[in-house]
Structure 1
């Protein structure tokens, strides 16, 4: 288990709580140590809380954070793992590298809110390796909020490997705020009797100006 808790009264944590709420989340879950959670602002890990059955290993980098998250063999995590990635300033770069592993016969739901409430010139790059073990289940729900200015450029890449009998469900939504630029690059390697379902919902609003 990993647990990192910084001063909850800090202005940065308050700002991320507000941004998390703006993206549709309940900020209280990020401070509940009975639930697994991870909060990243830019390249800072503001909170990382692991629970039994989960190994959570974040590492800060120059422009973001590398995250390794493992669900141990046979563990069925009863509540979602809450993730919050974001940038509060109007401009900046965030690079998130994720390595998520659901070991054999495990089950987990990851609920991620990605929020850029003031984005005028923001770049968010995400590269993910998702490995779903034999007869394991991984559900990844990702909710984005890009603010009113349309100034976010979001570039997610993911490679998903699903072993025999495993299942992977991905649900991406961006239904409030302005999109900006969004580029997906996902590929899936699915073995015998596995299931993969990927759904994306994005609302476009207003014409971008240059």
Structure 2
């Protein structure tokens, strides 16, 4: 990858933020890795390999990325999406379109960093169409900061073709959230499989809305939707998980695990299961409550304070 000369200084700041978010920027610069670096509404650099096509359309208010993967392409190394916004105030708008062919294997890793944010809005809309007999994973890791406010609006819309597999995981656990709204909506065709997961840790007065949806439209389609929320201090969260059993012999499972750790936490979880085919099967399980007291006592008996023990348990849950 070649970094545009005018953006070399900006790339240095993005590199530092990317490292904090858990990424390895050195991997973005090799020729055999598909990668793209976005700062604000600018493309700082990009690289691709045979069979993977990337087009970009940018202006001062918007970035639109179009990814096309040809039939039969197996991308051996993860595709890296490095996204950052370095200003204190402002707005970042991203639109992604993915056209994944048949018999494709590809893994996406996205790291989003907002290290200087005092009050920003980050909006991301992703539309992905996956062909037949393909396997796609998408991991989205966010790194905000502890002092400022990030307003996050993230929307994934995915169609999974016949006999394809899709795995989408969103994680925001290393820093404060701010205000977050996230939606994952998956439409599964015949024999398609999906796993979707949102994992968030809230602090102070963070606010989170999560909506995960499985549309099991195909015969023998199956899906799992999971949420993990750790709500502390005065944070609030609303979690809605939905599964629709429409296809013959379709199976869906939704699971919500929420832990509250603070006297002013406000957290709700709402499951919605709807079967429109007598051959479909949907299940649900949920837990909302404090940290396990037995685990706390065991760790405290080994010399840890209650706060230290709680932190250790939370970190183990969020791994």
Cα distance in 2 for partners of 1:9, 1:183 equals 31
Query: How far 1:37 moved relative to its partner?
Result: 0.4
Query: How far 1:185 moved relative to its partner?
Result: 2.3
Cα distance in 2 for partners of 1:53, 1:5 equals 22
**Contact preservation (8 Å) 2:34, 2:48:** yes
Alignment of structure 1 residues 155-194 onto 2, 5 Å: 155-194=153-192
Cα distance in 2 for partners of 1:143, 1:111 equals 8
Equivalent residue for 2:204, pick from 203, 206, 209: 206
Cα distance in 1 for partners of 2:50, 2:70 equals 9
Unaligned runs of 5+ in 1: none
Alignment of structure 1 residues 52-201 onto 2, 5 Å: 52-201=50-199
Mark the structure with the bigger radius of gyration: 2
Moved >6 Å (runs of 4+): none
SS in 1 for 2:202: coil
Deviation track 1:145-196 (CA, whole Å, cap 9, x = no partner) reads: 0111241011011211011111110011011111001101222111010011
Higher fraction of helix: 2
Residue 14 and residue 57 in structure 1: after superposition, are their counterparts in 2 closer, same or farther (change >3 A)? same
Cα distance in 1 for partners of 2:205, 2:179 equals 12
Which residue of 2 is the match for residue 36 of structure 1?
Answer: 34
Cα distance in 2 for partners of 1:73, 1:60 equals 27
Tell me the number of residue pairs that the alignment of Structure 1 and Structure 2 aligns. Answer: 207
Residue 9 and residue 186 in structure 1: after superposition, are their counterparts in 2 closer, same or farther (change >3 A)? closer
**Which stretch shifts more, 184-193 or 108-117?**
184-193
SS in 2 for 1:196: strand
Query: How far 1:25 moved relative to its partner?
Result: 0.5
Larger RCO, structures 1/2 (Cα 8 Å, 6+ apart) = 1
**Contact preservation (8 Å) 2:184, 2:196:** no
**Contact preservation (8 Å) 1:95, 1:126:** yes
Unaligned runs of 5+ in 2: 207-233, 235-319
Q: TM-score, normalised by structure 1?
A: 0.94
Structure 1 vs Structure 2 CA RMSD: 1.6
Deviation track 1:37-94 (CA, whole Å, cap 9, x = no partner) reads: 0000000000111111210111113323100011110011000000011101111110
Alignment of structure 1 residues 13-28 onto 2, 5 Å: 13-28=11-26
